[in-house]
Amino acid sequence: MGRRVVLGMLGLGVAGVAVGASVQQKVNRALAPVGQLGNVLPAAGGFRYYTVTGSVKHYSAADWRMTVDGLVTKPRTFSMADLARMRQTVLDKDFQCVTGWRVLDVRWVGVALPDLLDAVGVSPAAKAVRFTSFDGTYTESLTLEQARRRDVLVATQMEGGPVTHDHGGPVRLYVAPMYGYKSLKWLGGIELTDKVRPGYWERRGYDVDAWVGRSNGRDDAPTA
């Protein structure tokens, strides 16, 4: 595992993840359509693999596209090449899951979300940003103020290489100061909206404003 250390994780086996009872129950309910915790699997580097759909289509870097639309003045579809031509931001930040495990000092590279929003021109009517996954189910939202933070990335690389499929690639969201469920995987679309639309996990009981250590009844050390 090298310099990356998982904290707060009691263990992961075929029976599931050992976490607090209330959080575990929420995860069980959310994953019930795809076989309870059968889709929570070990992944490289101390991360855990979660999917709420059972299977997710693979996209190559050449095939991937993301549409940014809604309350914007210049709707646009981005390719990986488009993102690569934009200003790149590098962050070395922890990743904290709401179920308790943490991976320290992960290097993330990508386009800061404020730069992407500037490229499409945000309408004065926009108050929030909604993210959709190409798994067809997973969604997330941030307020526009939260989305304007420079530690929110449309990430194309992590730990020195491309974001792999199991980590939510080829492109995923990374929201440094919030719990991992806000960092939507398999990013396929961004929509500017007039209000926050609660995402997949919020509709199942998680907090909409998922600040690490200040939400979901947890007191973890902040990640940003």
User: Tens digits of per-residue pLDDT, 147-192?
Assistant: 999 999 999 999 999 999 999 999 999 999 999 999 999 999 999 9
Flag whether 179 is in a domain.
yes
Predicted local confidence at residue 224, as pLDDT: 78
Predicted local confidence at residue 30, as pLDDT: 45
Q: Is residue 19 pLDDT above 60, yes or no? A: no
Flag whether 129 is in a domain.
yes
Flag whether 101 is in a domain.
yes
Identify the residue with better confidence: 204 or 17. 204
Flag whether 196 is in a domain.
yes
Flag whether 39 is in a domain.
no
User: Tens digits of per-residue pLDDT, 82-101?
Assistant: 999 999 999 999 999 999 99
CATH number, domain with residue 97: 3.90.420.10
Predicted local confidence at residue 131, as pLDDT: 98
User: Tens digits of per-residue pLDDT, 48-69?
Assistant: 877 888 889 999 999 999 999 9
Flag whether 209 is in a domain.
no
- Running DSSP on this structure, what letter comes out for residue 79? E
Flag whether 6 is in a domain.
no
Q: What is the mean pLDDT of the chain?
A: 85
For 98, the domain range is 57-204
Predicted local confidence at residue 4, as pLDDT: 37
- What does the buried/exposed string (b/e) look like for 33-47 if buried means 16 or more CB atoms within 10 Å of the residue's CB? eeeebeebeeeeebb
What contacts 24+ positions apart, CB below 8 Å, involve 201-210? 201/30, 201/140, 202/141, 204/26, 204/29, 204/30, 205/26, 206/26, 206/98, 206/179, 206/181, 208/141, 209/146, 209/178, 210/98, 210/175, 210/178, 210/179, 210/181, 210/182
Predicted local confidence at residue 25, as pLDDT: 54
Q: Is residue 10 pLDDT above 70, yes or no? A: no
Structurally, the chain folds into a number of domains equal to 1
Flag whether 50 is in a domain.
no
Predicted local confidence at residue 1, as pLDDT: 30
Give the residue among 95, 65, 103 at the shortest CA–CA distance from 175. 95
